[in-house]
Amino acid sequence: MANSAAKNISGYRLLLLLLLFAVLYLPSLKNGYVGWDDALIHSNRNIRSLSLENMTRIFIPQPGSTASYQPLRTLANALVFALNGPRPLGYLLFNILLYLVNILLFYKTVRILIEFHGDDRLKVSSHASALVSAAAFGLLPVHVEVVSWIQGGKQTLMAAFFLGSFICYLRFRDSGKEKMFWLSVALYGAALVSQPGAIAFPLLILGYEALTAGHGNRFRKEWLLDTGLRILPFILPAVLLGAQLLFISTVRKYPVAELSFVSSLFTVPLLWGKYLIKLFLPVNICCRYPMTVPGTPPLFAGSAAALALAGLAWAACRAAGEKKLAGLGLIWFAVTLLPTSGLVRTSTLMADRYLYLPSMGFAILPGLIFGNLLAGAGASHFIKARSSLLTALVLAVAAGWALVTVKRELDWRDGVALWSRVVSLYPEHDLATFNLADALQREGKLDEAIKHYQKVIRINPDYGDAYSNLGVCLRLRGEDRKAIGYFERARSLRPDRAEVWINLGISYANVSRDSAAFAAFEKGIDLGGRSAWAGYYNRAKLLLSGGSVEESVADMEKAARYAPQWVTSEAWLDLGRTLERLGRVDLAVELLSLGKGEAAFDASCWRILGNLEILSGNPSAAIETLKVAAARDPEDYQTYVLLGFANQQANFTQDAVKAYRRALAMGGPDREKVLNNLALILAETGKLDQAEKVYLEALAQKPDFIEAWVNLGILYRTKGDLTQARRSLEKALRLCAERQVPDNITEGIKQILDGLGPQ
């Protein structure tokens, strides 16, 4: 009974801890896309379907791809997309749930380690110690990047498999059950293909085996052989992924001519020292730090930092009182941090997300220290008093970390907030300033964006993308001649960037330098990449202005088919309208249908596609398309007008009436036309009196509306009021004479009038 009660209490405490962390991260659910790696969701076609064909694309590497192999991350995003679509809320909720799972698994890991390898005193408090470790891990403010950033979920997903694999390995070593071993291998494989940070797991196992082996057996030939064979199934997939990272993906070893290995090596202790400071004292944390590997090896500073770290490690082991478990925590921290410590090139040298796995090793130590103190708490009044003071200090630190966490979550609400934070800490950080300018540009704040792009150029005169984006801002303000100078500078700095050439071509075309524009578009298309569609699109516009209609249409088709996921909403709209004017309605429908699943295909795009489907004689398809447009933008007047017309064409009269009435309630242009169409339906369904009132309302809106006068005359004829019918039709004839309408319309009205018989 006592054991059962103790287990229940332990469970309640753990559940309470998880609930507290769930509440702590609730503010993250209000965050949105920040413009950083968002394309992995809103422009990733592989997450939009759970079909067998799409699953194949997810798990089979695409030819020419330089991305690291992370199919489970893509699959997770696909599952969230199936339930949630592209809305940020679903992905952020997924991150929080995975974070809670990681805290639970980490608690289980620490408790198993203590129960298997702790001394008798520590085993008594295994739950309390594991709970403290889990709390320390969960509270660390550096984890906000992983939870509150939409793309941070890859770290929590990887960590869940990583911890699951380690738990299974520990169970295997305790029980000898082979199924636990192979389950551990399988979970490790899942961790690797979720995020490459799991690659250090074999080193963690090796450290665990070395620490827990008997002193006489450690490093003997038999032990080495047995351990090597046991770790081999973990090493093989790690080697395969490592080869993919180094030789196929965007991760690279530093070239000797660029940075020496010695510089990288002596930078490692400096980097780790900064990381430990961020863990202990989480001030000035942000999404991008300016630290880099120096060209000259920091021999003295690196050596001093290494000695300081060694001293801290020794002190931590002493305070923990459990050398094996404390040593494992230190090994965990070191081996999982090593892959992102500057020995290979990654996107940045220092980032909070790189601390996610290593911080687990760090968090083992507070639990051990707490357990050590708890075990000796009854020894003396001095120890009790010291424990009370330590408890008060821990609670104060926990409250401080929680406040920092909540504040940090707000930094991820949008791109401007995120990069403003970095720039406030590092005003001369060129990349952060560039990203802030880009976020401002996306929000349409061109003046502020221009100011920050100019600052980037002042900080780094060779920042080619800053010149290019500055040129775009100037062009949006109508200053193409000024923009050309910046584009030409960007071209000299980044001749390999297709978008630079295409932007230059657009501005050339805007100042009537057509031959130069054509050459620039050709170059952008030749360079390929995701921007090449814009080369085809803008070349099509240039060809059309020159009268080359067929060549223009061919380029429009290439633009739409090349990479629909990158085509902008403005381009979709322009393609649809242009092809409609050229009489290529069926082609317009076909091309715009390619964009249906894309993030940029907004409510306006769905509306114009619906209109094109009406024009192509397919009102049923138009109805479904316009329903999507209405769901995306329920306040769009034109969508409901078109939806009414499509239903009218399909003879769904009740739905047509509802759509027209919804549009009329909103207000909007050409109200008299909507009233006329509504009256036609009412008349066709026998509601003649209602139809008469609606026609009269339409004519009150526009007294010279010829079509409404004719329809009203026909209505009066149907009602048998030939006098009113004749007056309405004669009014229509007078308006025809005044406005010089085509003869066929006038003749048609006369025939109706003659059909009424003599007066």
Burial of 444 (0-12, 13-18, 19+ CB in 10 A): exposed
User: Would residue 427 count as lying in a domain?
Assistant: no
User: Would residue 542 count as lying in a domain?
Assistant: yes
| Residue 618: per-residue pLDDT | 95
| Residue 380: per-residue pLDDT | 46
Closest by Cα among 438, 436, 413 to 425:
436
Q: What would you report as the CA-atom Rg of the chain, rounded to the nearest whole angstrom? A: 34
Closest by Cα among 542, 276, 757 to 556:
542
Measured CA to CA, the distance from residue 623 to residue 652 in angstroms comes to 10
User: Would residue 438 count as lying in a domain?
Assistant: no
CB 296, CB 262: distance < 8 Å: no
Type of residue numbered 121: R
3-state DSSP assignment of residue 462: coil
CB 122, CB 114: distance < 8 Å: yes
Give yes or no: residues 688 and 616 share one domain.
no
Low pLDDT (below 50) residues in the chain: 1-2, 253-257, 378-383
- The CATH number given to whatever domain includes residue 575 is 1.25.40
Closest by Cα among 427, 426, 424, 451 to 437:
451
Give yes or no: residues 269 and 322 share one domain.
yes
CB 231, CB 348: distance < 8 Å: no
User: Would residue 435 count as lying in a domain?
Assistant: no
User: Would residue 660 count as lying in a domain?
Assistant: yes
Give yes or no: residues 656 and 687 share one domain.
no
Give yes or no: residues 663 and 740 share one domain.
no
Q: Residue 252: in which H helix or E strand, if any?
A: strand 252-253
Q: What is the 3-state secondary structure (H, E, C) of 517-563?
A: HHHHHHHHHHHCCCCHHHHHHHHHHHHHHCCCHHHHHHHHHHHHHHC
- The CATH number given to whatever domain includes residue 735 is 1.25.40.10
What is the average pLDDT value for the chain, to the nearest integer? 90
Distance in Å from the first CA to the final CA of the chain: 106
Strand partners, 253: 344
Give yes or no: residues 613 and 686 share one domain.
no
Give yes or no: residues 663 and 687 share one domain.
no
CB 552, CB 581: distance < 8 Å: no
| Residue 426: per-residue pLDDT | 96
| Residue 3: per-residue pLDDT | 57
Give yes or no: residues 155 and 203 share one domain.
yes
Q: Structure tokens of 487?
A: 């584009």
Per-residue pLDDT tens digits for 348-376: 899 999 999 999 999 999 999 888 877 66
CB 682, CB 694: distance < 8 Å: yes
Give yes or no: residues 305 and 391 share one domain.
yes
629 Cβ contact list (under 8 Å, min separation 6): 603, 604, 606, 607, 610, 636, 639
Full domain range(s) for residue 565: 506-584
Secondary-structure breakdown of the chain: helix, strand, coil percentages, each rounded to the nearest 5: 75, 0, 25
Burial of 615 (0-12, 13-18, 19+ CB in 10 A): middle
CB 585, CB 612: distance < 8 Å: yes
Give yes or no: residues 182 and 257 share one domain.
yes
For the chain, the domain total comes to: 4
User: Would residue 214 count as lying in a domain?
Assistant: yes
Measured CA to CA, the distance from residue 675 to residue 260 in angstroms comes to 77
Measured CA to CA, the distance from residue 505 to residue 686 in angstroms comes to 59
Give yes or no: residues 287 and 173 share one domain.
yes
Give yes or no: residues 86 and 99 share one domain.
yes
| Residue 258: per-residue pLDDT | 53
Give yes or no: residues 684 and 754 share one domain.
yes
**Could you give the C-alpha distances from 665 to 429, 641, 675, 695, 702, in angstroms and in order?**
52, 11, 11, 17, 18
Which of 556, 584, 612 lies at the terminal end of a domain, its last residue?
584
What sign does the CA torsion over 728, 730, 733, 739 have?
negative
Q: What is the 3-state secondary structure (H, E, C) of 464-494?
A: HHHHHHHHHHHHHCCCHHHHHHHHHHHHHHC
| Residue 6: per-residue pLDDT | 55
Which of 621, 644, 669 lies at the terminal end of a domain, its last residue?
669
Q: What is the DSSP string of 285-347?
A: --S-------SS--HHHHHHHHHHHHHHHHHHHHHHS-HHHHHHHHHHHHHHHGGGSSSEE-S
Q: The tokens 């559940």 sit on which residue?
A: 15
Which of 669, 702, 717 lies at the terminal end of a domain, its last residue?
669
User: Would residue 93 count as lying in a domain?
Assistant: yes
User: Would residue 473 count as lying in a domain?
Assistant: no
